[in-house]
Amino acid sequence: MATTLAKAEEAVEHAARIEHVSKSFTTPAGQQLVLDDITVDVAPGEFVTLLGASGCGKSTLLNLVAGLDRPTAGTITTDGRPALMFQEHALFPWLTAGRNIELALRLRGVPKPERRGRTEELLELVRLKGAYGKRVHELSGGMRQRVALARALAQESNLLLMDEPFAALDAITRDLLHDELTRIWAETGVSVLFVTHNVREAVRLAQRVILLSSRPGRIAREWTVGIPQPRRIEDAPVAELSLEITDVLRGEIRRHGQH
């Protein structure tokens, strides 16, 4: 099957470049600093996880990279427009699985005669061959997230932003989707910036793990994950690195007085 994502004609240095980004929100008590001086590069084809305690600004940073909000300070550049996948599948329940994906293709300007075939390719990529005509209510939680992933890939972006997309799933389904995401990432060469608060998920998936401190979010530390893929949650090297990262994360939480 053809590669899902269109490649840039010219080589690029980064899929995303976040330079000295800060973000504040106005509250009744005044300005609240959520992110403070964040600098991160995501290389083409790299899989990076953003890890941190709840409320540290992970999702805020992802929204800034997606262009849904603007930073208070600093700059963000991306290799084209990113595709965004949320924790909730956000599928339109009145459309079939296939029509949900076709909508993304139509918005991208893909001619109508090409949409059905392209949709079938994407469904096959996420291992949902034959699910074109299924309604959302007929799909399990894991299948819905697969359709949401196919819809995100339909945007032909070089950068996929994922905001805790598997957090609401049971452990077995989540584990299966980890395998699927790793496979799709390897097949397509897409760059991934993945937000999670699950340390083992971060280590299972990523080439690089970036830990944000508690609010305001600052880069506390990062790790290069040299464990060969495919990985399993229960693999000893995954568990060992996860324990190391968890200790640092706990220290950050204690330091900021959060429980």
Pick one of 3.40.50.300, 3.40.50.150, 3.60.21.10, 3.40.50.80 as the CATH number of 23-82+157-259.
Answer: 3.40.50.300
At 26-69, the pLDDT tens digits run 888 888 899 999 999 999 999 999 998 888 889 999 999 999 99
Q: Helix axis angle, 141-153 relative to 171-188, nearest 10°?
A: 20
Q: Which of 150, 189, 207 is CA-nearest to residue 7?
A: 189
Query: Residue 237: which residues within 8 A CB-CB, separation 6 or more?
Result: 227, 231
Average of per-residue pLDDT across 215-238: 92
In our burial notation (b when 16+ CB lie closer than 10 A, e otherwise), range 96-105 reads: bbbbbbbbbb
Q: Dig out the tokens for 117 from the structure.
A: 């075939």
Angle (CA) 77 82 84, round 5°: 135
Q: What percent of the chain has pLDDT over 90?
A: 66
Supply the pLDDT for residue 12.
67
Domain ranges of the chain: 23-82+157-259, 92-156
Q: What is the DSSP string of 107-149?
A: HTT--HHHHHHHHHHHHHHTT-TT-TT-BGGGS-HHHHHHHHH
> Could you tell me the pLDDT band of residue 237, with boundaries at 50, 70 and 90?
very high
pLDDT at 10 over 80: no
Backbone φ, ψ for residue 81 (5° rounding): -85, 125
| Helix or strand run (H / E) with residue 243 | helix 236-255
The answer to whether 89 and 144 have CB atoms below 8 angstroms apart is: yes
Please, which pLDDT band fits residue 256 given cuts at 50, 70 and 90? Answer: low
E strand or H helix at 224, and its extent? strand 219-224
Give 156-210 pLDDT, tens digit per residue: 899 999 999 998 888 898 899 999 999 999 999 999 999 998 999 999 999 999 9
